[in-house]
Every structure is written in structure tokens, then in C-alpha cells.
Amino acid sequence: MRKLTATLCLTLAVLLGSVGMSASADFQKGLTAYQSGDYATALREWEPLAEQGNADAQYNLGVMYEKGNGVLQDYKTAMKWYRLAAKQGYARAQSNLGFMYEKGKGVPQNDKTAVKWYKLAAKQGNAPAQYNLGVMYENGQGVPQDDKTAVKWYKLSAKQGYARAQYNLGVMYARGRGVPQDDKTAVKWYKLAAKQGNAPAQYNLGLMYAMGTGVIKDNVYAHMWWNIAASSGHKNATKNRDIVAKRMTPSQLEKAQKLARECVRKKYKGC
């Protein structure tokens, strides 16, 4: 039931704040170009806006330099643009700035500064930052180790549908860390994450069904979830799926395989 670690948001900004019609059109032209893979045009449209102080454009330039899309990958330049947007209170830039400090990308590694930026974004409701802050408290990185505070931030993120936070929250309930131990609640959070395609959550659900922990023991569903996780490359899921298959009848195995196919086909609805 290994935890997931910090994550970086590389989703582009698509909306502008209070800007003129011309700037809005330029931003949209850059966005359309970026989405079609024309990074040179996106860069040409966004750079003047960013220089003028537009936080959306500043953040998007940070993403481009972070990913190396249309420019040489340059963490220091990514940091420059993230910082400018973050200082304007732009939550996604604050979250990414925290990540860069945590990982030492473009700046000297500094957990305390990472926590500072994660908190600013998390308090604005940014789900990745809330999740990352939970990780910092759970691991005692830049803050005193505190499971209860970790759970607080995981819950805020998980309730927004953030799969990694849902998974980690499930682990906290399964282990009784920061909350009373509760296998049924662990299963609830694993399912929410698993239905978003989170392979570690799918694997843990398989374990819960195989052991009858928090759910009625059922090798068919254990096989189903391990089979789905295995299709994402989860090695332990592949191993466990093959082990439990030897304990199943041919009809049970056929049912499990059919359930897995249907679950994926329906994008996890009704699984």
C-alpha cells in the first residue's frame, strides 16, 4: 500500500481575468496554436502578454519551459515565469513553484519554501497543492510530521475528486494513521480513485477483495481489479492476478475477465 508522492500540474490556463479584447484574442490565438502543436506561435502570442504582467500567460510560459514544448527545457526560466504568476496570487503557479522547490528543479532544493507555496495555493482550494501539502505533512518534509494534518489536506483534495489524494486517504484509513482505522472507508476512497484509472488504488482494491477486508471476500472482483491494474503496467497486480486465477473455477475466471473488459469499456461506470 505504498503512497503516491508529490505531483506537478502541467494543465494550461485557458481563461483570462480582466483584460482587454485585444489581449484576450491574442491569448486565445496562443492557446489554439499550443493545442494544435504550434508552440512557436503560442510563444509569440504569450510572451508579450506575460511581459505585460498577465498571470495566465506567465503561468503558461512556465509550463512550456517546464515541459520543453517549443523551447529548450529550462527549469530556471520556468521558475521565473511561475514566480511572477505566483506573486500575483495565481494558485496553479504557486503549486508548481512549490513542486520545483521540493524537487530542486531550477532552484536549490528547499522543503520549507515548497511548503510555503503549497500552503498559499492550497488555501485557495488548489487540489494538487492540497495533496502535495498532505504528502509533506505525512513525510515530515519542511514541517513537523503530522498524520492528522496530512489527512486534513488529503480530504480537501480528495473531495474535489483528486485521485492521488483519494488513494492516499484510503491508505491512511487502512493503516489508521491520523484517523481511526477503518477498512470500509479505505475501500470507499480506493474505489473513487480506482474509477479514475489510478492503478495503485486498483491494486489495493484487489487486495481488499482477496482478503475480505472492508468488503466481502470475492476472488472474482480481486481478479478483476488486478487485471485492470495490470493493464496499466502494475507488476504486483499481474503477479497477484495470476496467483488468484489458480484458485478460481473456469466460470469464475471468465466472469472476472468479462467484468474487467466491461469496466474499462464503460470508463469505470458501475464497476
Q: Which cell numbers hold the place of 86?
A: 505566483
CB 4 within 8 A of CB 164: yes
CB 26 within 8 A of CB 49: yes
Measure the CA–CA gap between 30 and 32, rounded to whole angstroms.
6
For residues 257, 259, 265 and 269, what is the CA-based torsion angle, rounded to 10 degrees? -160
CB 210 within 8 A of CB 240: yes
pLDDT in tens, 150-177: 999 999 999 999 999 999 999 999 999 9
Count other Cβ atoms within 10 Å, centred on residue 37: 11
117 CB-near residues (< 8 Å, 6+ apart) = 86, 94, 95, 97, 98, 101, 129
- pLDDT tens digit at each of 271 positions of the chain: 555 566 666 667 654 444 455 668 889 999 999 999 999 999 999 999 999 999 999 999 999 999 999 999 999 999 999 999 999 999 999 999 999 999 999 999 999 999 999 999 999 999 999 999 999 999 999 999 999 999 999 999 999 999 999 999 999 999 999 999 999 999 999 999 999 999 999 999 999 999 999 999 999 999 999 999 999 999 999 999 999 999 999 999 999 999 999 999 999 998 8
CB 13 within 8 A of CB 92: yes
CB 207 within 8 A of CB 213: yes
187 CB-near residues (< 8 Å, 6+ apart) = 170, 205, 208, 213, 214, 215
Nearest to 83 by CA among 30, 46, 28, 120: 120
CB 8 within 8 A of CB 64: no
Q: How far is CA 17 from CA 27, 88, 198, in A?
A: 11, 12, 33
Nearest to 86 by CA among 125, 117, 110, 65: 117
110 CB-near residues (< 8 Å, 6+ apart) = 101, 104, 142
Q: Which cell numbers hold the place of 250?
A: 473456469
Report the amino acid identity of residue 189: W
- Which pTM does this prediction carry? 0.91
| 34 HSE (CA, 13 A, CB side) | 24
Q: What is the pLDDT of residue 3?
A: 55
Q: What is the DSSP code string of 63-132? A: HHHHHTSSS---HHHHHHHHHHHHTTT-HHHHHHHHHHHHHTSSS---HHHHHHHHHHHHTTT-HHHHHH
